[in-house]
Structure formats: C-alpha cells, structure tokens
Structure 1
Amino acid sequence: MGFEAPQKGNPHKLTVNQHVFPRKSINRFSNGDGLVQLFRIDGVKVISASSTNSLFCAKRVWDQSTEAGIGKHIEDRFQNLVDSILAGYTKVIGIFEKTIVEDFFSLWRTRHKFRAEGLEDFKLGGIEGNSLTKDEQEILERQHVMFCRDGVMPGRFAARIHVFGYMNTFRQDNMHRQWGIVRAGEGEFIVPDCFQDMMIVPVSPKMVIVADQPNSTLTRSEVAVINQTAIDRSTEYYFARSLSACPVYRDSPPRLQRIFAN
C-alpha cells in the first residue's frame, strides 16, 4: 500500500491526483475568482483553494479503470442530472434520477474511505504473474488491465470491485428511499469532505439533494442545521463559496428533527 509514482513525465497520462469530490462539483461553489473558502480542521484556519488543490484529492489510491471507467461514468451521469436540475428541466428526483443520485453518493463516500484508509496490496494464491517492466505495467493500467508482480496485485486494482460492491449494497439498502431537491431560502450550504452516514448531496451554494426530505425551500435556521451536520461529519476540511454566508445552528427545527436526530 502507498503512493506509487508513475514514470518520470507520466508518459501514459495516468491520473495521479484523483478527486474524491469532483472538480466540476467543487467549481459550482467557487466565487468569481474560481476559489472556494476551505476550513482545514488540522490547522484550524480558512484558506482560499481552487478545485485543483491536492487537499481535494487522493494520490493514485484507485486504479485508472476505476478513475476513468466506472468513476467517470457515474460522475458524468450525475453532472448531467445536476445541469438539468439547475436549468429547471428536471424538477423531481424520480426512479431514474434516484439511481443516479445514489450511485454518486456511494462513489463519493467510497472514495473518501479509500483516501482515508488506502487499499492494501494482496497476494493471489497460485499466481506468480509475468515479469513486466514499469512501462509495460503502465501501458496495461492505462488500458484498464490488471497485473500482478511476483504474485502480488497492487491494492488500487481492488478499488473497482469495492466500488461496485458498495454501490450495489447501497442501492439495495435504500430501495424504497425517496430524495428531494432542497433549496436555501436564506444563507448558503457548506460542503464537507464527506457527509458519511447522512444522505445529503451538495449541488450548489443554494441547493442540495436530501434523502427523506420532499422538494422544499429551507429557512435560514434549517440551512444552519444542514451546515452543522456538514461540519460535524467532516474529517479533514469543509468548504463553501463564502463561509460567512453559511449559517450554523445546533438545534434542529421541527421540520428537520426526524432526519437529523442523533
């Protein structure tokens, strides 16, 4: 386990800095300068950051197939849905949209787990693997092919198996759950590095998609409850377009008590 640097110059253009939360989603929260305000929990300070900042990334924790294959497919479907919602074409999260939202939420949460815990290399019994040069290994990975080295497979290749597994389990566990498009009447939303067990998907400073909540417009106090939830679930950082525009409040208003009760 651990970061494996590509060859000098990265000739096969393998993705090294892998976004946990997509760049396009982060950019929707950026200000006119293309930056978000990010609070680093370890340093207890606010910094301005672009979506390319390494804080938003894992460092080659999952393989190229997971990044550019299944991951990109899930992201693209979600971003198309968000564009449609923001343009006013999609007004409800129906059966089709529900799958897109849940797959994206599962991917986000899974990537966050990979970044925090890594993926251990694993030995395949009875398989020694071929003797491959570094260049040959990178060519294979670029073509979404797995390989072994002395019978040991790099842990990042297990990522795609976990992504599918977690995603299918999440779908099954939430088969009857409904999602709503939720807007901030006052204030703006905070984005955590992950919402963990709370099924909330950030869309823009004024919009989130929330499980077990109908389409609605929230008061300032209700926005503050979601923001407090974001802060409480954050492990390394949280961000917003402008943190000063984001109210924070610990006591749940009645309409949100069922969803956010501990």
Structure 2
Amino acid sequence: MGFEEPQTGNPHRLTIKQHVFPKKSIDRFSDENGLVQLFRADGTKVIRASSTNSLFCAKRVWDQSTEAGIGKTIEDRFQRLVNAILVGSSSVIGYFEKEVVEDFFSLWRTRQKFRAEGLEDFRLGGVEGDSLTKDQQEILERKHYIFCRDGVMPGRFAAGLHVFGYMNAFRHDNQHTQWGIVRAGEGEFIVPDCFQDMMIVPVSPKLMIIADQPNSILTRSEVAVINQTAIDRSTDYYFARRLSSCPVYRDSSPSLQRLFSK
C-alpha cells in the first residue's frame, strides 16, 4: 500500500517517517558511533544502521494526531519510567508503572500491525465532505482534525480509534498480569521489530521488562532463550548493539514462555 505524499517541501511539517519502535529506545541500543547492528529477514548479512533509518519506520500510515497526540503521550510516559529505572529511582513495576508499560507495549504492537497491513480508506454513509485544497487538508491534519474527500476518509485517520481500542482491550485482558525488570547477567539482548504475542519490552542491551517474571538477573542461557524468541517473533528484522554479544538458544525454558490471547 502506498502513502500519501505531502506538498512539496512538506510546509506543515507532517511526520512522514513514523517510528514503530521509538527512536529514543533504539538509541539506547546503539554503539559508540550511534549505530545498531541489524539483520533483515530478506538479507544475507548484518548491516549497521542509525535510529533514523527508514527500516524502523512506517510512511505516514497513521495520522498526525495519532503520531503527535496519543502516540507521543504514551511514549513520553514510558521514556520517563525507563529513565527512572536506569538511574535507579524506580525498581518495581507497580500498579501505576504497569499501565505505562502495557500501554507502550500495546502501542508498539499496534503500530507494527499498521505498518504491515496499512489502514484502508473508507466511505462514510451520507457524508460528502467539503471541497478542500491540498494545503487546507494538511493544515487540518496538522491541527489534529479529520476530513473527508468526496465522502471518503483517508484510512490513517482511523488509527487513533484502533490505538485506543487495542489498548483498552489489552488492559482488560491483562488485569492480573505482573511485570518484572529483568537484567542480563551475561550477554546482551536482541530486539525484534515486534515481539508479537510475547509480552516483552526491550529497554537496553542489558535490561528488559517482561510479563510474569519477577525482578531478576538472567543467566547466559536464559538471555539466549529470550534472544531466540526475539528472532523467532521478528517479521522483517531484528537488531542489537552487537549481535556477536547476544547468545541464542533454540530450546526454550518453560519459565520464560508467556503466550497470551488478544
């Protein structure tokens, strides 16, 4: 599915390259040169990439309101929590932290779904819509308004409704789920483009937040299990600070398996 090009020069600064996994989160996995090592599912070798690489992005799949409104709000709350964990001022995923983590995980997974499947335009019965110039349309979107063209709404405007819907369903389905802060005692973690059905949130090369796991330090073998899970769940790519520092192990331990229904 193609994307709608903005006007030449993008005068209203609409976000075109939309990160599925946040740029700040990718940057925490970067090396001293600001790059990660990335392996593409359709590739034959590891490439080095910065967090601005288009591989990490969808192209204007969701609207500006979803990008700069609800999406940014969820990301900002999560990044504040992560910073607190990394400096040691937060050490438990309690009641309030749980909501922050789950909203972020749901957003990440929903964005990946948008990126893979797109959002189809749809016709609104009985609505014709006003005749708007391209400039007027972009001004409206920049101000977080929705518009129709001849009774057809661009699919990206439905993204916000989907984000709220998936997020609320995820909260409901996981009311009793507990999360733990998990650290790699040896080795480093791999990040997939999305963990799909595994409730794992990457934080840094040595730290993840995982559902139904207590706060713990993992052995090299346990890190390898999570890394193999990341590889198995990835769709288009996976990355790490240094893939050579990331052990993998195909025979997963039952204590690290966590499947859930949508």
TM-score after normalising by structure 2 = 0.97
Equivalent in the alignment of 1:249: 249
2:200 matched to 1:197?
Answer: no
Equivalent in the alignment of 1:237: 237
**3-state SS of paired residue (2:51):** coil
Equivalent in the alignment of 2:108: 108
**3-state SS of paired residue (1:25):** helix
Equivalent in the alignment of 1:32: 32
CA contact (8 A) 2:39 2:239 kept: yes
Q: Percent identity?
A: 80
Equivalent in the alignment of 1:155: 155
Alpha-carbon offset, residue 114 of structure 1: 0.1
Equivalent in the alignment of 2:223: 223
Alpha-carbon offset, residue 255 of structure 1: 3.8
**3-state SS of paired residue (2:231):** helix
Distance 2:130 2:202 in 1: 45
2:113 matched to 1:142?
Answer: no
Equivalent in the alignment of 2:258: 259
Q: Map of 1:47-58 to 2, 5 A cutoff?
A: 47-58=47-58
Amino acid at match of 2:101: V
2:75 matched to 1:97?
Answer: no
Alpha-carbon offset, residue 250 of structure 1: 1.0
2:212 matched to 1:208?
Answer: no
Alpha-carbon offset, residue 73 of structure 1: 0.1
**3-state SS of paired residue (1:132):** coil
Distance 1:252 1:161 in 2: 36
For residues 104-128 of structure 1, give each alpha carbon's deviation from its aligned partner in whole angstroms, at most 9, with x where no partner exists. Answer: 0000000000000000000000000
Alpha-carbon offset, residue 2 of structure 1: 2.8
**3-state SS of paired residue (1:12):** coil
Equivalent in the alignment of 2:77: 77
Alpha-carbon offset, residue 45 of structure 1: 1.9
CA contact (8 A) 1:224 1:249 kept: yes
Distance 1:130 1:16 in 2: 25
Distance 1:255 1:124 in 2: 49
**3-state SS of paired residue (2:223):** helix
For residues 208-235 of structure 1, give each alpha carbon's deviation from its aligned partner in whole angstroms, at most 9, with x where no partner exists. Answer: 0000000000000000000000000000
CA contact (8 A) 1:252 1:260 kept: no
User: What CA RMSD, in Å, does the superposition of the two structures yield over aligned residues?
Assistant: 1.2
Equivalent in the alignment of 1:175: 175
Distance 2:171 2:225 in 1: 26
Distance 2:164 2:88 in 1: 31
For residues 38-61 of structure 1, give each alpha carbon's deviation from its aligned partner in whole angstroms, at most 9, with x where no partner exists. Answer: 001111321000000000000000
For structure 2, list consecutive stretches of 5 or more residues without a partner in the other structure.
none
TM-score after normalising by structure 1 = 0.97
**3-state SS of paired residue (2:183):** strand
CA contact (8 A) 2:191 2:202 kept: yes
For structure 1, list consecutive stretches of 5 or more residues without a partner in the other structure.
none
Q: Aligned residues, how many?
A: 260
Amino acid at match of 1:259: R
Alpha-carbon offset, residue 252 of structure 1: 2.5
Distance 1:190 1:252 in 2: 15
For residues 3-55 of structure 1, give each alpha carbon's deviation from its aligned partner in whole angstroms, at most 9, with x where no partner exists. Answer: 00000000000000000000000000000000000001111321000000000
Distance 1:69 1:251 in 2: 42
**3-state SS of paired residue (1:259):** coil
**Which moves more between the two structures, 125-134 or 244-253?**
244-253
CA contact (8 A) 1:221 1:253 kept: no
